[in-house]
Chains A and B, each alone.
Chain A
Amino acid sequence: GESVGLHLPTLSVQEGDNSIINCAYSNSASDYFIWYKQESGKGPQFIIDIRSNMDKRQGQRVTVLLNKTVKHLSLQIAATQPGDSAVYFCAETSSNYQLIWGAGTKLIIKP
């Protein structure tokens, strides 16, 4: 069936280093992908999105890479800061309305 999954449930990164969070998806029809950040007790916060006609998209300190060949999505955070500590979710959608969410990766920043 359709699914979105994450390789690593927890990622620990030294403050100042770059973080890479990975996501696998199985629905080849998905054409829109979003990364969300969720801090404890809060709602998902939009980080960045990418459409399937692109391989890479950059935002402020974040980059999303899409590899449609292997159905892989990654989020790169440059110069990770303590405020980046959160659970990160990837979500995908195809031709319908709903977002299908991955399980989440908890990013821990070490001082």
Chain B
Amino acid sequence: EPEVTQTPSHQVTQMGQEVILRCVPISNHLYFYWYRQILGQKVEFLVSFYNNEISEKSEIFDDQFSVERPDGSNFTLKIRSTKLEDSAMYFCASSEGKKHGYTFGSGTRLTVV
């Protein structure tokens, strides 16, 4: 069964450093997403990406965040200057359509110290 793959599984970074979280969506999917889940809380939408541009973003997705699809397979989330409160599980997802077949990766646990 096709999977969304995320790397690394765990990232520890110092406050103020930049991190890049990587995702390989399912190959025939056209829509890509990033969500995050702070420990013990609900999953929160960050951003959606379609046709090489951001289609929607939440209030959380401020100027310190950016996304990129550098090639035909990878989808990345960059956090420019990490803060302690950025510590969370970050999930990448992809879907065939806007309302069809959302599949999530296993997540990257980001710990900012």
Contacts and interface: CB of A to CB of B under 8 A. Distances in A.
Interface of A: 31-32, 34, 36, 42-46, 51, 89, 91, 93, 96-104
A97 B103 CA distance: 14
Interface of B is mostly: strand
Interface residues of B, number: 24
B97 to A, nearest CB: 10
B98 A97 contact: yes
Contact of B42 (A31, A51, A98, A104): A104
B43 A89 contact: yes
A45 B104 CA distance: 7
Task: In the A-B complex, list the 4 residue pairs whose CB atoms are closest, starting with the nearest.
Answer: A97-B48, A98-B45, A32-B99, A43-B104
Interface of B: 4, 6, 31, 33, 35, 42-45, 48, 50, 55-56, 58, 91, 98-99, 101-107
* Residue of A89, A91, A99 ringed by the most chain B CB atoms within 10 A: A99
Contacts of B102: 34, 46, 99
